[in-house]
Amino acid sequence: MSLLLALTVQAAVAPQTVTPPPAAPAPSDPPREWSTLPAIPLPPASDDMVRFVRDEVNAGRCVRHQTTQSGQVTVVAPLALRFNAEHGVETIVPVAIGCPTVEQFSAGAAQRMVRRLPYRATLTGDRWYRTVITYTWPG
Residue 26 domain-assigned (yes or no) = no
Give a yes or no: residue 25 inside a domain.
no
Q: Is residue 22 part of a domain?
A: no
Per the structure, the count of domains in the chain is: 1
Asked whether residue 42 is assigned to any structural domain, the reply reads yes
**Does 127 fall in a domain?**
yes
20 is a domain residue: no
* Residue 70 structural domain: 31-138
Sign of the CA dihedral running 88, 78, 34, 31: negative
Specify the pTM: 0.76
Assess if residue 24 is contained within a domain: no
Task: Give the pLDDT confidence score for residue 23 in this predicted structure.
Answer: 45
d(C-alpha 95, C-alpha 107), whole Å: 10
pLDDT in tens, 5-41: 555 555 555 455 555 555 444 466 778 889 999 999 9
H or E element that contains 4: helix 2-12
Position 55 in a domain? yes
SS3 11: helix
